[in-house]
Amino acid sequence: MPNPGKKYKPFRVISLHDRRWPDAHITHAPRWCSVDLRDGNQALAIPMNVAEKLEMFKLLCEVGFKEIEIGFPSASDTEFAFTRELIEKKLIPHDVSVQVLVQAREHLIRRTIESLKGARRAIVHLYTPTNPAQRDIVFGLSKEKVLEIAVEGTKLIRELTQAHPETEWQFEFSPETFVLTEAEYALEVCEAVAAAWGASSKKKIILNLPLTVEAGTPNTHADQIEWFCRHLKNRDSVVVSLHTHNDRGTGVAATELGLMAGADRVEGTLFGNGERTGNLDIVTVALNMFSHGVDPQLNFGNLPHVREVYERCTRMTVPDRHPYAGDLVFTAFSGSHQDAIKKGMDRRSKVNPDAIWEVPYLTIDPKDIGRSYEAIIRINSQSGKGGVAYILDREFGFDLPKLMHPEVGNLIGKYADQLGRELSPQEIHERFRRDFVNVSNPIELLDFSTHIHGKDSVTCSAHLKYKGNEMKIEGKGNGPISALVHAIAAQGWAKFTLRDYRSHALAAGEESAAAAYVSLQSESGQMVWGAGVDPNIELAGLKALISAVNRLP
C-alpha cells in the first residue's frame, strides 16, 4: 500500500466550538422518505421490473411510509410509465406523497411535471452539483453558474406546479453533495433556492443535505448539520432532510447524530441498499429508536415478511448479522451469553408482560418485530451448559436441575466438537435422550411394586435385567427411590450415594409424561446424573435412578 499521507487528504471540518448536538436526544420520529424505488433500484444489478416495483411500493405503504421516491420519470419511458400507472390506477394511498427526482434541465423538468399530472400529493426533488469535485471535474462550472442553474430550475418548477393546483405540491432541493461542499456556499445556494420557491412557514421547502459520499466521521456530519441549521435564515420555512450513504460504514451513526443536530427528515432504503456500500438502512435507525422507547411511526411488527418481499423483489440478501433482520442476530453460540440469556428469559416468564424489557444481550424482544424465540440459542462447540439447558427446556420441556447443566452441556459440547458443526435442537434432544434418559444397560427395569408398612417405611420388589439376566431384587427404604437404592446396593453392583432427586411434568415434547432427575455420588466422589421419562411420575423417578446407576464410571 502507498503512503496515504501523500495520496489522500484529511476531511475538511468546520469550526463549531459551541456545538449542542452532543447533549441532544432523539425523542420522536423524523419524517421518513423511502428511496428504495429510485436510489435503491438504480443500485441493483438487475433493476426491478414494473410488477416488482408495484409490490415494493405496496410494502412501503404497509410499513407506513408517507413519502416514497418512486423514480426518475424523465430518465426513461419505463420510469415515466411506472409513475403514470400509480396515478392512473389510483394505487397511491390518499396520505402518501410520491416523490420524483430530476436534474436542473428544462426539458427534464417539464417531462417530470407531466408525469405527475393528476397526483393528489407529489414532491419534486431537484438536485444540482455543488461540491468542488463535481463543479470542476464533472461539469466545469463556476460557483455562480451552479447557483444560477439551481435558481432557474426552481423557478421553472414553481411556475409549472402552480399551473396544476389540483395537486398538493412540495419541493425538495439537494446540493450535491452537501458534505463535500464549502459550508458557506452550500448555505448560499440553499437560501437562494428557498427564496426562488417562495418558502414560508406555510409553504415549506425540503432542503435535503446529502452525504452521498461518506467522507468524514459521524461527528463531523453532525457539526455540518448543526452549523447549517443555526445559520439558515427563516429556519421555520425549511424541513432539513438527511440522505446518508455508507462508504465508511457509519451511515446509521451519521443519521442519528444528524437528527440530534437538528434535522427533521430522513431518506433511506430498507436494509440500506444503494450505490457502492449502500444508502442509510432505515430499518436499523427506526428500530434503534424503538429499542429506546421512541415510536418510529413505521411498522416493522412483521420484519420477516418485509425481508422476504425485499429479497425477492431486489434479489439482494439481508446479511446474517444485520442488526435486526439477520438470521443470527438474536442467536447466541457463546456459553456465557447463552447462560445470561437463559436467566433473563426465565426471569421474564415470571414478570408482568408489560414490564420493562431486560434480557442480557437482547436489546429488544424478538417477538415485537415478528421474530421467534426458537433461534435465540443455538449450539456448537463454543456453547455452554446454559444454552443446552435452554434448548432442552424451551423446545422439549426438560427443566434440568441447575447442578445437572455442566454434565449435559459438556457431553453435548464434545459431540458438536466431534462433528465440527452446529447441532440442531432435534440432535441435542436425541443425544440427551440416548445418553441420559431411561438408560438400560447394564440394568434394565422391567417391573416394580411396593408395599407400604408405615409412614416412612416402604418395601420394593423390582423385576429387572442385569447384563441380560432376568432377576428379582428387594429393598427397603423411606420411599420407592430409597428402597430401590438399597435393593441395588445389596447386590454389590455399584457403590454410590443418592444426592438429589427432582421431577416435573413435561411442559412440551412428543408425549404426555413426567420427567425425573437423579444425582448419585460414586465411591470416588464423582457426581453422575440420570433422567427418566414415563407417564407415571413414580416410575419416571425409578428410571432416572437406574439411568444414573448405569452411567456411573
Name residue 457's beta-bridge partners.
454
Q: How many domains does the chain have?
A: 3
- Arithmetic mean of pLDDT over the chain: 93
Per-residue burial over 329-368, b if 16 or more Cβ lie within 10 Å, else e, is: bbbbbbbebbbbbbebbeebeeeeeeeeeebeebebebee
Closest C-alpha to 33, from 227, 211, 241, 344: 241
Q: Which three cell numbers stand for residue 536?
A: 407415571
Considering the domain architecture, whether residues 429 and 448 belong to the same structural domain is answered as no
Considering the domain architecture, whether residues 53 and 121 belong to the same structural domain is answered as yes
- Of the candidates 407, 436, 465, which is a domain's last residue? 436
Confidence class for position 495, pLDDT limits 50, 70, 90: confident
Given a cut of 70, is residue 171 above it in pLDDT?
A: yes
Strand order in the sheet with 496-505: 496-505, 514-522, 527-534
Judge whether 102 lies within some domain. Answer: yes
Q: For 62-71, 85-94, 144-153, 511-520, which range has the lowest pLDDT when averaged over its residues?
A: 511-520
pLDDT at 492: 85
pLDDT 10s digits, 111-141: 999 999 999 999 999 999 999 999 999 889 9
Judge whether 407 lies within some domain. Answer: yes
pLDDT at 331: 80
Considering the domain architecture, whether residues 409 and 544 belong to the same structural domain is answered as no
Judge whether 413 lies within some domain. Answer: yes
Q: Which domain holds residue 365?
A: 335-436
Considering the domain architecture, whether residues 118 and 189 belong to the same structural domain is answered as yes
**Distance (Å, whole) CA 517 – CA 401:** 8
Considering the domain architecture, whether residues 158 and 274 belong to the same structural domain is answered as yes
Residue 211's domain is classified under what CATH number? 3.20.20.70
Judge whether 505 lies within some domain. Answer: yes
**Distance (Å, whole) CA 243 – CA 255:** 8
pLDDT at 508: 53
On whether the CB atoms of residues 159 and 114 are closer than 8 A, the answer is: no
Q: What is the dihedral of CA 103, 110, 65, 35, to 10 degrees?
A: -30
Name residue 97's beta-bridge partners.
67
pLDDT at 337: 82
The residue among 495 and 207 whose pLDDT is bigger is 207
Secondary element (H or E) of residue 147: helix 143-162
Considering the domain architecture, whether residues 300 and 161 belong to the same structural domain is answered as yes
Judge whether 162 lies within some domain. Answer: yes
The residue among 490 and 263 whose pLDDT is bigger is 263
Task: Please identify which residue in the block is written with the cell numbers 444426592.
Answer: 499
Judge whether 201 lies within some domain. Answer: yes
Considering the domain architecture, whether residues 111 and 167 belong to the same structural domain is answered as yes
- Of the candidates 410, 436, 462, which is a domain's last residue? 436
**Distance (Å, whole) CA 419 – CA 397:** 25
Residue 527's domain is classified under what CATH number? 3.30.160.270
On whether the CB atoms of residues 442 and 412 are closer than 8 A, the answer is: no
Judge whether 321 lies within some domain. Answer: no
Measured in degrees and rounded to the nearest 5, phi and psi for residue 15 equal -90, 115
pLDDT 10s digits, 325-352: 998 888 877 778 878 888 898 899 889 9
pLDDT at 511: 57
- Of the candidates 258, 285, 314, which is a domain's last residue? 314
